[in-house]
């Protein structure tokens, strides 16, 4: 059993203002920032006071019942610190001692926080909202959602045609590639992000099967399948990836039009849509996700599971026949879609190799089949990889995490994986201690919120394997940041919390004037490539504007990351 110690371990080294890089224009009023969804009873509970107090600054803060105003808990604000010498004062409120289920606010010197909950099931509604976003993103079908009022006719029903001649098809050859999810606020579909989204969501099902399979996504009875709602929704992504596989096992990289669509409903986007070249990184990622599906769907839908495994093996064979990294790309491929390759925005070294992708595929195929050749490939590549941030640019850490969970992983592999995990987690805890906002992610770039959520998952994994309370405290702080404990006091998920993002960059939402609920936006991006968000302001390089695609757009893999963090924290709660 993990026992949560006082947060003094975390707060004793709280930030040196001179090391903070976030900027602030001047004084701001006092605010009380909380996780606007809430806190699990036995996990740490932190809030922040921001701004300089009026009069006596040492008075106790009160956690009060949202219904009656009765005081349930009192806490002394922590020692004030600042982001930078002239910035606002920040004080931590640690009310971890309050474990009683209920709905609360925090009050201090006449100010009050947003309402929040404490309870063992506080994330159920949030997870349902976040998972339903995928239903709203479905491509190739009509949408008529009574809960949100979103409606459109069948879209992109002719997806797609081959963009460039290859050994199997001439330019313009039709390929049945309908379905899947629109990747983000536009209508492109990408194997890279679909694979990591499916992988993270399937891992959630493994982590807490009862919770994840119990979510009711309000499907009509005609849409109910042989498995639970969540696995039925995940299959939408899997089915589309299967259609993107070529006869030799390779996967096409993406499907989109040659031009970016305007702010229209998806069924009004009538341009021809193309399948763009194959690649070994995408083939490996797809094979990994399909290998996971093969074991997870085996009980509820064995025929589909067999199909997934067959496709994963075929993809693996293509990788074995293509020992080096290969990406088929042509000039003009990105005029209507993102490149999802190394470039001016995505500069990570992992995009110059496919070893991380091959590792994930080998790991999942070994877990699913137990076959020695896959384990041999795992052991060949493992020494070359650190434990990194799970994302489309480097999916290897999900393979590492799943190997740690798998009982048949050899001890020598488990030992190496644990060493990598704890090294990474220790670095993240150090980052949290340096950050005014307790963020483990130090890179405020495109998709920083997704990165924050994934670093939280890594910390939660470390917490599950040791009694070190710093990992648990830091993991919970990442979700707090995403749901309100940030400079803007915003929940970065639309429709979630008392004060949340409401101008998300989403073509369909803009076209119909609806703030689509359950979307995690990209978050602060110091590069502000759209010219809309403030540039070079670190954690404050964000704006809630429908024009800011660099900070305020949603993507399917962003949602998967915060879903994963909620699931992992819930799993930890059940061990306490």
SS3 readout for 386-408: CCCCCECCECHHHHHHHHHHCCC
Q: Given this model, what pLDDT does residue 489 score?
A: 97
Q: Given this model, what pLDDT does residue 332 score?
A: 95
**What whole-number distance in Å separates Cα of residue 55 and Cα of residue 540?**
28
Q: Given this model, what pLDDT does residue 222 score?
A: 62
- Phi/psi at 49 (5° precision): -95, 130
What's the average model confidence in pLDDT over 547-558?
97
What's the average model confidence in pLDDT over 119-139?
97
For 350-371, the pLDDT digits (tens) are 999 999 999 999 999 999 999 9
Comparing 219 with 143, the larger pLDDT belongs to 143
455 included as an active-site residue:
no
pLDDT > 60? residue 549: yes
pLDDT > 60? residue 20: no
The pLDDT-based confidence of 200 (bands split at 50, 70, 90) is very high
The pLDDT-based confidence of 168 (bands split at 50, 70, 90) is very high
What's the average model confidence in pLDDT over 503-524?
95
Cβ-based neighbours of 125, under 8 Å, separated by 6 or more: none
Q: Which of 544, 546, 557, 573 is catalytic?
A: 544
For 449-483, the pLDDT digits (tens) are 999 999 999 999 999 999 899 999 999 999 999 99
Beta strands of 121-272 (E only): which ranges? 143-144, 151-152, 161-162, 189-190, 251-257
Q: Is 241 helix (H, G, I), strand (E, B) or coil?
A: helix
For 217-262, the pLDDT digits (tens) are 988 766 777 899 999 999 999 999 999 999 999 999 999 999 999 9
Query: What is the pTM for the complete model shown?
Result: 0.94
Q: Given this model, what pLDDT does residue 522 score?
A: 98
Q: Given this model, what pLDDT does residue 88 score?
A: 82
Distances (CA, A) of 479 to 246, 288, 327, 533: 40, 27, 36, 23
Q: Are 58 and 488 in contact (CB under 8 A)?
A: no
Q: Write out the H or E segment, with its range, that includes residue 460.
A: helix 448-464
Q: Given this model, what pLDDT does residue 51 score?
A: 85
544 included as an active-site residue:
yes
Task: Walk me through the domains of the chain, giving residue ranges and CATH numbers.
Answer: 8-118 (2.60.40.10), 123-409 (1.50.10.10)
Cis geometry, peptide bond prior to residue 139 (ω within 30 degrees of 0): no
Q: Given this model, what pLDDT does residue 86 score?
A: 79
What's the average model confidence in pLDDT over 190-209?
97
Please, what is the Cα angle at 405 between 383 and 395, to 5 degrees?
50
Average of per-residue pLDDT values in the chain: 93
Q: Are 22 and 538 in contact (CB under 8 A)?
A: yes
The pLDDT-based confidence of 11 (bands split at 50, 70, 90) is very low
For 402-431, the pLDDT digits (tens) are 999 999 999 999 999 999 999 999 999 999
- Phi/psi at 440 (5° precision): -80, -30
308-328 b/e (C-beta count within 10 Å ≥ 16 → b): bbebbbbbbebbeebeebbbb
Which residues face 93 on adjacent strands? 47
pLDDT > 70? residue 9: no
- Phi/psi at 208 (5° precision): -140, 75
Q: Given this model, what pLDDT does residue 109 score?
A: 87
Q: Given this model, what pLDDT does residue 58 score?
A: 61
The pLDDT-based confidence of 10 (bands split at 50, 70, 90) is very low
Q: Are 404 and 465 in contact (CB under 8 A)?
A: yes
Q: Are 391 and 557 in contact (CB under 8 A)?
A: yes
For 273-316, the pLDDT digits (tens) are 999 999 999 999 999 999 999 999 999 999 999 999 999 999 99
Q: Which of 229, 269, 377, 553 is catalytic?
A: 553
Q: Given this model, what pLDDT does residue 138 score?
A: 97
For 480-506, the pLDDT digits (tens) are 999 999 999 999 999 999 999 999 999
- Phi/psi at 521 (5° precision): -90, 165
Considering only CA atoms, which of 211, 35, 230 is closest in space to residue 124? 211
What's the average model confidence in pLDDT over 373-382?
98
Q: Given this model, what pLDDT does residue 54 score?
A: 63
- Phi/psi at 450 (5° precision): -60, -40
Q: Is 307 helix (H, G, I), strand (E, B) or coil?
A: helix
pLDDT > 60? residue 57: no
Q: Is 263 helix (H, G, I), strand (E, B) or coil?
A: coil
The pLDDT-based confidence of 12 (bands split at 50, 70, 90) is very low
Q: Is 90 helix (H, G, I), strand (E, B) or coil?
A: strand
């Amino acid at each position: 059993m993990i026992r949560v110690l006082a947060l003094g371990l975390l707060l004793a080294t709280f930030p040196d203002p001179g090391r903070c890089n976030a900027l602030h224009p001047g004084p701001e009023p006092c605010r009380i920032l909380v996780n606007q969804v809430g806190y699990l009873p036995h996990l740490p509970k932190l809030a922040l006071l921001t701004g300089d107090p009026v009069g006596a600054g040492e008075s106790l803060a009160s956690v009060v019942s949202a219904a009656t105003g009765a005081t349930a808990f009192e806490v002394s604000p922590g020692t004030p610190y600042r982001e930078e010498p002239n910035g606002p004062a920040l004080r931590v409120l640690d009310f971890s001692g309050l474990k009683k289920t209920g709905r609360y606010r925090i009050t201090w010197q006449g100010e009050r926080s947003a309402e929040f909950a404490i309870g063992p099931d506080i994330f159920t509604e949030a997870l349902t909202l976040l998972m339903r976003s995928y239903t709203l993103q479905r491509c190739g079908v009509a949408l008529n959602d009574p809960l949100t009022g979103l409606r459109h006719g069948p879209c992109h029903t002719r997806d797609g045609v081959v963009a460039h001649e290859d050994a199997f098809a001439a330019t313009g050859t039709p390929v049945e590639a309908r379905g899947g999810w629109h990747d983000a606020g536009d209508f492109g579909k990408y194997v890279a992000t679909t694979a990591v989204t499916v992988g993270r969501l399937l891992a959630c099902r493994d982590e807490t099967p009862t919770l994840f399979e119990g979510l009711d996504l309000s499907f009509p009875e005609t849409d109910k399948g042989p498995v639970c709602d969540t696995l039925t929704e995940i299959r939408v992504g899997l089915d589309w990836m299967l259609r993107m596989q070529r006869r030799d096992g390779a996967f096409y990289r993406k499907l989109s039009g040659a031009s970016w669509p305007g702010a229209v409903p998806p069924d009004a986007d009538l341009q021809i849509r193309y399948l763009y070249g194959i690649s070994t990184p995408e083939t490996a990622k797809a094979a990994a996700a399909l290998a996971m599906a093969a074991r997870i769907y085996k009980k509820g839908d064995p025929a589909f599971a067999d199909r997934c495994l067959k496709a994963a093996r075929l993809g693996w064979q293509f990788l074995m026949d293509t020992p080096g990294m290969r990406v088929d790309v042509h000039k003009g491929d990105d005029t209507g879609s993102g490149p999802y390759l190394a470039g001016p925005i995505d500069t990570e070294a992992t995009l110059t190799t496919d070893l991380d992708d091959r590792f994930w595929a080998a790991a999942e195929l070994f877990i699913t089949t137990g076959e020695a050749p896959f384990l041999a490939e795992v052991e060949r590549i493992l020494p070359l990889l650190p434990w990194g941030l799970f994302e489309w640019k480097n999916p290897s850490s999900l393979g590492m995490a799943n190997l740690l969970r798998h009982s048949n992983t050899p001890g020598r592999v488990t030992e190496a994986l644990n060493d990598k995990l704890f090294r990474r987690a220790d670095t993240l805890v150090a980052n949290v201690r340096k950050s005014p906002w307790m963020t483990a992610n130090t890179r405020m770039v495109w998709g920083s919120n997704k990165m924050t959520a994934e670093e939280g998952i890594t910390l939660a994994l470390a917490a599950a394997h040791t009694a070190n309370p710093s990992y648990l405290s830091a993991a919970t702080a990442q979700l707090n940041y995403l749901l309100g404990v940030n400079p803007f006091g915003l929940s970065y998920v639309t429709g979630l919390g008392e004060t949340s993002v409401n101008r998300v960059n989403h073509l369909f939402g803009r076209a119909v004037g609806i703030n689509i609920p359950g979307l995690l936006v990209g978050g602060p991006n110091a590069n502000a490539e759209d010219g809309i968000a403030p540039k070079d302001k670190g954690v404050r390089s964000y704006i809630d504007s429908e024009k800011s695609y660099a900070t305020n757009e949603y993507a399917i893999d962003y949602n998967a990351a915060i879903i994963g963090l909620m699931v992992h924290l819930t799993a930890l709660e059940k061990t306490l």
